[in-house]
Amino acid sequence: MKESTRELMKKFEQDYEVYLSATEALTYWVVYARQLRPPEGEVSHPHQGIRYVTGPNEEGNVLLFRNPASSEAFSAESWGPMATIDDFVKKALARILSEKDAGETGAGETCGTSCG
């Protein structure tokens, strides 16, 4: 992973109060996100998070584990071409932000409840 991507992750953590980790292995990539503080009025569940999993040969297909600590249930999505883990991290950050924003407007399931 490029140093610029690591810096982007650190800035994202600070700006949006979301804990992030990224794992790069030979056959798979993982981004894990967990909100550091629960949204106002919600109970904190520090074990919950959301895990995004793909790999260099997955043609943009991503598995989303919404509560990996207590369930192996997942959904699958196509995020388009991703040649490197850096591409994957950038798309994951955009997804995390869109879910966080959706939660603030009540538009859908959120990183606030899924990552919270």
pLDDT in tens, 47-88: 468 999 999 999 999 999 987 777 788 999 999 999 999 999
**Contact by Cβ (8 Å): 63, 43:** no
β-strand partners of 35: 18
* Between 48 and 18, residue with greater pLDDT: 18
Q: Which residues are within 8 A (CB) of 113 and not within 5 positions of it... i.e. 6 or more apart?
A: 42, 103
Taking Cα atoms as reference points, which of 52, 11, 12, 19 lies closest to residue 35?
19
pLDDT in tens, 22-51: 999 999 999 999 876 655 665 555 546 899
**Contact by Cβ (8 Å): 21, 96:** no
- pLDDT at position 49: 84
